[in-house]
Homo-oligomer: A and B are copies of this chain.
Amino acid sequence: MTKPLRIALAGLGTVGGGVVRLLDANGELIARRAGRAIEVVAVSARDRGKDRGFDLSRFAWIDDPAELVRHPDIDVVVELVGGSDGPALALARATLGAGKSLVTANKAMIAHHGLELARAAEAAQVALKFEAAVAGGVPVIKGLREGAAANVIGSVYGILNGTCNFILSKMEAEGRDFADILSEAQALGYAEADPSFDIDGVDAAHKLSILASIAFGAQPAFGDVAATGIRHVMAADIAEAAALGYRVRLLGVADAGPHGLFQRVHPHLVPLSHPLAHVVGSTNAVVAEGNFVGRLLFQGAGAGDGPTASAVVADLIDIARGEFGPPYAMPADALADQPAADTGERRGRHYLRFEVVDKVGVLAEIAAAMRDAGVSIESLMQRGATAGGAVLVAIVTHEVPERSVTHALEKLRGSPSLAGAPMWMHIVAG
């Protein structure tokens, strides 16, 4: 058996601890599968004294993570520090610059700096791998980069944030409102104290831009992802959707066409005939549509120490086996620089919900705005007043260009008939 793959681990939080525990538990099996052992040699973390449930004394302790790179005989640095810039980025640059391989779970860093890091890895002919950065334990980067590699991928989309899916599933199951469930999720530790990265769609946007780049052979363009979260989804929206045969899911959706790269994170109505409608709780799921393979679905736990460690170690096994190539499935210089797509011409069906003042003429005003913008209405439902006294009007449109919906909403903007900003959700085709 060849000599072990020697690892330096930066960060011993949830995921870092998971990696140590995984290698302790499954190390022998992994060595048989990888053809060599994977050994943690050195670690760096903020607090040396903290009880993590395993013995730290067998590892070299390095106070400054940036020093890990200079530890002798290291093959790979595993970066689990987090943050798009700062110490994580400094460590990543130093690692690749020193000709060592890098494995990371850091979606923010890869979304912002992945292309630069991929160029550095390719120049040094080392690995840069980040399976754990997208959909936790689900091997979806491998699925796109290798499993679906024979296909022109037309679109990639899915449930990329477990916290949002947990909240939406629970809102649906219990008929409760967003703020209520969020507080409960925070109390249980399922949502962060500052939940905005999750619930405003930023985390999903990071992941989507990574997937899109690999799927379409396009340069990562995180700045072009239009992201809306789930803060404004009401229990009533979920009930209306259910009555129509849909479930509400926060989806990241990307496709690549002749008009550029489309990337959006937004709440969607998903029909019950679609597998994503049946993904509940904090599970993640990604669909890729290939021109020969058709629809592929990858599903599993999107977060947590075990699943994320599973993805980190899968990357290490690939490196131990010598089975790695360019981080984005093709050399960074071969990635196309695609403009962001114009979304106005995209055709689809839409869900629009208005909180309106309960007075004569409001429905006529909304209907007129739709008509004048060329938005054809498939169904309209008006339900009783909310706790605040407003009335809800929910509309499902026929298939129309998004530009028309934008126009209709512009016509209604500032209308005294509206008691709040309208809710717009896209409807996924069956």
A residues apposed to B, CB below 8 Å: 18, 22, 25-26, 29-30, 32-35, 131, 137-139, 142-143, 146-152, 217, 275, 278-279, 285, 290-301, 304, 306-307, 309-314, 316-318, 321-326, 329-331, 334
Collect the chain B residues with CB atoms within 8 Å of residue A314's CB: 146-150
**B296/A300 in contact, CB under 8 A:** yes
Interchain CB contact under 8 A, B137 and A294: yes
Of residues A29, A311, A334, which shows the largest number of chain B Cβ atoms within 10 Å of its Cβ? A29
Contact across chains for A146 and B152 when beta carbons are under 8 A apart: no
Tell me which residues across on chain B come within 8 A of A137, comparing CB atoms: 290, 292-294, 296
Query: Could you list 23 examples of A-B contacts with CB < 8 Å?
Result: A22-B150, A25-B152, A33-B329, A33-B330, A35-B330, A137-B292, A139-B142, A139-B143, A139-B147, A143-B143, A146-B314, A149-B314, A149-B317, A275-B275, A275-B278, A275-B299, A285-B297, A293-B306, A293-B307, A294-B300, A294-B306, A295-B301, A321-B325
Q: Give the distance to chain B from A174, nearest Cβ to Cβ, in Å.
A: 16
Closest B residue to A312 using CB positions = B150
Q: How far is the CA of A298 from the CA of B326 in the complex (A)?
A: 24
Q: How far is the CB of A393 from chain B (nearest CB, A)?
A: 32
Look across to chain B and name the residue whose beta carbon is closest to the beta carbon of A147: B139
Report the bound CA distance from A179 to B322 in whole Å: 51
Number of copies: 2
Chain B neighbourhood of A33, CB < 8 A: 149, 217, 329-330
B26 touching A150 by the CB < 8 A rule?
yes
How far, in angstroms, from A292 to B30 measured CA to CA in the complex?
Answer: 13
Question: Within the complex, which residue of B217, B304, B316 is in contact with A29, where a contact is CB–CB below 8 Å?
Answer: B217
- A140 CB to closest chain B CB, in angstroms? 9
Closest to A153 in B: B29
**Contact (A147, B143) CB under 8 Å given A26-B291, A33-B330, A292-B137:** yes
> What residues on B are CB-neighbors of A142 within 8 Å?
139, 142-143, 146-147
CA–CA, A225 to B25, complex, Å? 30
Tell whether, in the assembled complex, residue B325 and residue A324 are in contact, meaning their CB atoms are under 8 Å apart. Answer: no
Residues in chain B near residue A293, CB distance under 8 A: 137, 300-301, 306-307, 310-311
- Contact between chains at B301 and A298 (CB < 8 Å): no
Given A30-B150, A139-B146, 6 additional A-B pairs, CB 8 A: A139-B148, A139-B296, A146-B146, A150-B314, A285-B297, A296-B300
Residues of B within 8 A of A149 (CB): 30, 33-34, 313-314, 317
Set of chain B residues within 8 Å of A306, measured between Cβ atoms: 291-294
A291 to B294, CA, bound (A): 30
**In the complex, the 7 A-B pairs of residues with the closest C-beta atoms, listed nearest first:** A139-B147, A150-B313, A293-B310, A137-B293, A323-B323, A297-B299, A292-B306
- Most central of A131, A275, A331 by chain B CB within 10 Å: A275
Whether B26 contacts A152 by the Cβ 8 Å rule is: yes
Q: Which residues of B contact A290 (CB under 8 A)?
A: 137, 310
Most B Cβ at <10 Å: residue of A32, A33, A307 = A33
- Write the chain B residue with the least CB distance to A142: B147
Q: Is the CB of A295 within 8 A of B300?
A: yes
Q: Is the CB of B330 within 8 A of A296?
A: no
Q: Chain B's nearest CB lies how many Å from the CB of A151?
A: 6
Q: For residue A279, which residues in chain B have a CB less than 8 angstroms away from its CB?
A: 275
Residues of B within 8 A of A131 (CB): 147
Known: A18-B292, A330-B32, A330-B33. A151 touches B299 (CB 8 A): no
User: Inside 8 A of A299's CB, which chain B residues have their CB?
Assistant: 275, 296-299
Chain B residues with CB under 8 Å of A148's CB are 139, 310, 314
CA distance A279 to B325 in the complex (A): 34
Nearest opposing residue in chain B for A35, CB measure: B325
Contacts of A296 in B (CB 8 A): 137-139, 298-300
How many whole Å from A328's CB to the nearest CB in chain B? 10
Q: How far is the CA of A299 from the CA of B296 in the complex (A)?
A: 6
- Cα distance A321–B33 when bound, in Å? 20
Contact of A150 among B143, B291, B301, B317 (CB under 8 A): B317
